[in-house]
Each structure stands twice: as C-alpha cells, then as structure tokens.
Structure 1
Amino acid sequence: MPNTYFMAVFCMLLSMVSYQLSASMAKQLIEQLDPITVTILRLGFAAIIVGIIFKSWRILSQLSQLKWRDLLCYSFALGLMNTLFYVSLGKLPQGIAVGLEFIGPLGLAFLSIKHKNDLFWVLLACMGIALMVPWTMLNQLEFSFFGASCALGAGLCWALYIYFGQRVVQQNIGMHALTIAISLSVLFLLPIGIGHHPQALIQIQFWPQALLIAILATAIPYSLDLLALKQLSSMSYGTLSSLSPVLAALSGFIFLNEYLTLLQWLSLFLIMMASIGITLKEHRQQKMAE
C-alpha cells in the first residue's frame, strides 16, 4: 500500500534526525573521553534499552535456530561502522564526516540500479556529496586524511549494515534481531576498550550523556531502520540516506557552530532533490505494480 511505503520513508527520516542530533552530542563527549569508549557506552546502554523495550529475553529459546552468519556479519558491521564514524567525527566537521561516510550506501545504490533513469538521481546525489567537501580549502582547514579514511571505512560498513540488515529482517524475529546485534557489537568492542582506556568506561559522570546518546543514536534510529528496510529497496534506502549529510551539517551548525560555504549549501540542495526524486519514483513504481 502507498501509505505503507511513505510510512517507511517517514521512519527513515525520523531515524536520521535522531542520529545526527546524537552525533553532535557524541562529538562533544569524544572531546572528554575517546571514540571507542563513547561507542561502547552508547551501544551498551542501547542494548539494555532495546532488550527491555522489546522483551528480547523471549528469543532465548530460539537462539539455536537462528542464521548466525547473517547476524554476526550484521553485528560486526554495526559495531565497526559506529567506531570508525566516531573516530572520524573527532577529526572532521560533522557534515564532512557524514558526507564521506555516505559514499558507502551511495555505492550500494549504484550496484542496485535497474533502470537508466535511476542513474540521474544517484549522480545528482554524488555531485552533492562531492561539493560538500571543501576541496580547495583542505590545507586551511587542517583536513585530516586519517579522519577521512575512517569515514570512508564507516561508509563501507554502512553498506554492509544495509545489506545484512535486509537479510536479518527475513528471519522474522522482529526487533529481537536488533537486541542481539547491539549486544554482540558491545562484546566485540569491550576487550578493545578495556585494553585501550579501561578507566574511561567507569567514569559514571559521563553515563547520563552516554545514555541519552544511546537513545537518540541507537535505540530509536536502528529500530526505525529495521522497519524501513522491510519496505524499501537497497537503492531507495541508499539514495534516501543522502539526506544524512544535510541533517549532519544543520546539526553541526546549530549545536557545534560549524559553518558551511555557499557551495556546500548548494550541495545540500542537490542531495535533497536526489532524495525526493528517488522517493517519488519508487512510489510510482510500487503503485503501478499494484
């Protein structure tokens, strides 16, 4: 039904707004702790919250029947994506970090192209992402190539997160998949965090802020993502995600005083047009199929 598709788009938009708001808060917390510690605290609190909300203890009896290969890949992609993104966030402005990260799902959108007309919207989003990065001012901005590499790595993990997320939702275990994935991500990262900076994990004065970040960055957006992935194709999801740099730049401007150039505002417009175009086109195709 058309309403079902637009509800999926709405879930995705709400997910991105929540995530970018949390990213601004996380960037402030990273200045006091470190990216790995912030990631572990965020995912740890999120696992508890999601587990309680969805009563995920009821899935324990079915664990032996699950397809663990997809779940493990989904969990690993989720944990590594967040870690690399937070590292890049400590080195780059929020809008640029998210813009570079988006190359991952954009590449997935390219691979999912079925009609030549779809290429126009993806190229438009590509142009917007390219204009987002201030190429002529890299030296003045002390551009971090290490941070850029981490953002690109996070983008690759984002593409894997989308791919394996679609496989995980086919297991029909609902939101319990999210609880399992977040919990496993924490288990992957915890030994690294303990070896890297053990004291930071027990500084309880930072826990309330980490808890709020967990709600905004994980519990809300990942739940909405799984709902959206049931209705959206890889291409639609990947191209719609191009709104992430827009929201990241606006969040960085409002909460972190990170300013954009006129050319970067133009890039935001191009990205928004690509997202709107692909959404309406997918809706028309679904309506014709009905």
Structure 2
Amino acid sequence: MSRAPLLVLASVVSIQFGSAVGRTLFDDLGATGVVLLRVAISALVLAVVVRPRLRTWPREAWRAAAMLGVAVAGLNLLSALAMRTVPLGVVVTVSFLGPLTVSLVQTRRLLDLVWALSALTGVALLGWHPGPALPVGGLLLAALAGVCGAGYIVLTARVGGLIPGAGALPVSLSVAALVALPFGVSPAAAVIGHPALLIGAASVALLQTIFPYVLELHALRRIPTRVFGILVSLNPAAAALAGLVVLGQRLDAVALAALALVTLASAGVTLVRESSGPPVPSPRSRPSRGSPVSDRGA
C-alpha cells in the first residue's frame, strides 16, 4: 500500500499543530511577531535548500512571485489575528471558504450548488451560535484570510506556470516577511531578551511550513491530485483536534457541525472538479508542488 496518503495526512496534522504551537507564543511574541519569525525562518531555510536560479527569471516571474508573497502575508497575518479571539478550528473552517470558492468557480455542475449550500450552511451555523458568542471581529478576520487564501490559489497557479520547480517558494516567503515586518518587528524583538523564544518560532516554521513542504513534495509524486485534495480537506478537523490537544479549545456541537459541512463541501467539490476533466491549474494540481500548503491557511 502506498504511503503517500499518510504523508499528506502527516502534513495536515503538522500544519495545524504548528498553528496551535504558534498560538502558545502569542503572549510572548504577539500574533504578528510569530508570523514574521515563521515566514522569515522558513524563507531562509528553503532558500538554502531550493537555491532558486534568480538570474534566469523574467520580469513577469518576479512580479508574480512578489504578488504571491503579499497574499501569503495577508493570509497568515489575518489568520493569526483571528486566532487571538476565535478557536483555531473555527478560524481554519471560515478561512477555508476562500479556496473552496475558487474550486466552485472552476466547476459548473448542478452538484456544485449542493456543495455551495453545504458551505454556506456551515457559515450560517457559526453566525447563529446558541452557545457562547463568537467574536464578530475575529470571524471577519478569518473571512478576510479566506479571501487572501483564494488569491493565493490563483497566484500559485500563475507562478507555477512561470517558474519551474520550487524556485518561487523562498522568494515569495521573503516578500511575505517584508510585508509582515512593520506589523511584527516590535513584538518579535522579544527574542533579543529571551533567545529561547527563537527556538519556539523555529519549531513553528518547521511544523507549519518546512516539514509539510517536504512531505507533500514526495506525496504529490505518488498520488492523484484528487486524493490529495480530499485529504487536504481534513484541515479544519485537524485544526479542531490541535486546538483541543494543545490549547484546550473545546468546540460545541454547532461549531463541529459547521466544520463538518465545510469539510464535506471541500471534499465534494474536489471530486467533482477532478471528474469533470482537466481542471484550471491550482495548488491542487501541478503548480502546487512548488508551494507550501502550510501557507494556504492558518
């Protein structure tokens, strides 16, 4: 039996537990400080590993990689800010709507309506919450992160068509670090007085970006993108588990039902898109092999 699906599952778990570990550093480094250190460390490590051939890049490739970096920064900054007040599982569920919307746009079957209604029902459940109210501001930040996630998918497809391999990855992460710099430099400066915090930030970079990149790079060589997309749809469930284990965040039945509906919609639209013929390029297809899934969401 192929171990590739297990590699993808390990990547999903690593991403979400990395997010949860990062959340534990918010009190010391701030939400934006953790994001800055994570993307900066990831960019540095992957630049050494990938060694992109920058001299051969056309101007259009530089522009696309830079725009992708802006989307990565927005996605991660907004997700981290949302996580300050909203449970991790809910943040990932809401932000997943951005990539899901892109997938729905790429297919035009009647069954798409079912998946769209499933996702909208999940969001409605989060809005109509009979238990402790979820902060509207946090939910809005998660939704805006989803918008950046949609942009990330479109830009990843464009970058994948312009730059072979994983060459764009360290460049885009470097741009993301520059965008995050004015927001995160002040709280991140806490590592000067407490160098041990840098170990925590490095572990988040390893769990949330570097480790998943390596796992998925190997997995995508061995399994269809359809299977990969379905497995990645488990991110909201993995986020809820990580939030419970690491942060002690318990989701009630309503939030869990919303999570299940969004996950079902994402898995369903992946199946429909793959069975309807050649899809529009996205991070679920060829270009994704040069982009970290960890930067698609919280």
- Normalized against structure 1, the TM-score is what? 0.80
CA distance in 2, matches of 1:165, 1:262: 35
Choose the corresponding residue for 2:234, options 220, 225, 243.
243
Are 1:178 and 1:222, in contact at CA under 8 Å, matched by a contact in 2? Answer: no
- Cα distance in 1 for partners of 2:179, 2:264 equals 39
- Tell me the residue number matched to 1:19: 15
SS of structure 1 residue aligned to 2:107: coil
- What whole-Å deviation, never above 9, does each CA across 1:202-259 have from its counterpart, x for those lacking one? 342111111110011122345667886xx759xx95x875432221111111221111
Alignment partner, residue 73 of structure 1: 67
State the Cα distance separating 1:260 from its structure 2 match: 2.0
RMSD (CA atoms): 3.2
Instruction: Choose from 85, 94, 99 the match for 1:91.
Output: 85
CA–CA distance in 2 between the matches of 1:161 and 1:11?
23
Aligned-pair identity in percent equals 28
Residues 35 and 184 in structure 2, CA contact (< 8 A), matched pair in contact too: no
Which of residues 171, 177, 186 is equivalent to 1:180? 171
Q: Is the 8 A contact 1:132 1:268 kept in 2?
A: no
Letter in 1 for 2:83: L
Q: Deviations over 1:20-55 (max 9, x none)?
A: 11111011011222111111110111012211222x
Deviation at 1:74?
0.6
Distance 1:133 1:18, change over 3 A: farther
Structure 2 counterparts to residues 1-290 of structure 1, below 5 A: 13-54=9-50, 56=51, 58-64=52-58, 67-132=61-126, 135-137=129-131, 140-141=132-133, 143-194=134-185, 196-197=186-187, 199-202=189-192, 203-221=194-212, 232=225, 242-285=233-276
TM-aligned CA distance change 1:257 to 1:169, over 3 Å = same
CA distance in 2, matches of 1:251, 1:105: 21
Amino acid at match of 2:106: S
How far does residue 124 in structure 1 lie from its aligned partner after superposition?
Answer: 2.3
CA distance in 1: counterparts of 2:8 and 2:155, whole angstroms: 17
CA distance in 1, matches of 2:156, 2:243: 28
Distance in 2 (alpha carbons) for counterparts of 1:274 and 1:198: 37
Q: What SS does the aligned partner of 1:135 have?
A: coil
Query: How far off is 1:65 after superposition?
Result: 5.2
How many pairs does the alignment contain? 273
> 1:285 and 1:63, CA in 2 relative to 1: closer, same or farther beyond 3 A?
closer
Distance across 1 between alignment mates of 2:127 and 2:216: 27
**Unaligned residue ranges in structure 1 (runs of 5+):** none
**2:82 partner letter:** S
Change (3 A) 1:107 1:267: same
TM-score by length of 2: 0.78
- TM-aligned CA deviation for residue 162 of structure 1: 0.7
Change in Cα spacing, 1:11 to 1:280, as seen in structure 2 (3 Å) is farther
- 1:152-199 Cα offsets, whole Å, 9 max, x none, are 1111111100110111111242111111100111122223433x4463
For structure 2, the 5+ residue unaligned runs are 279-298
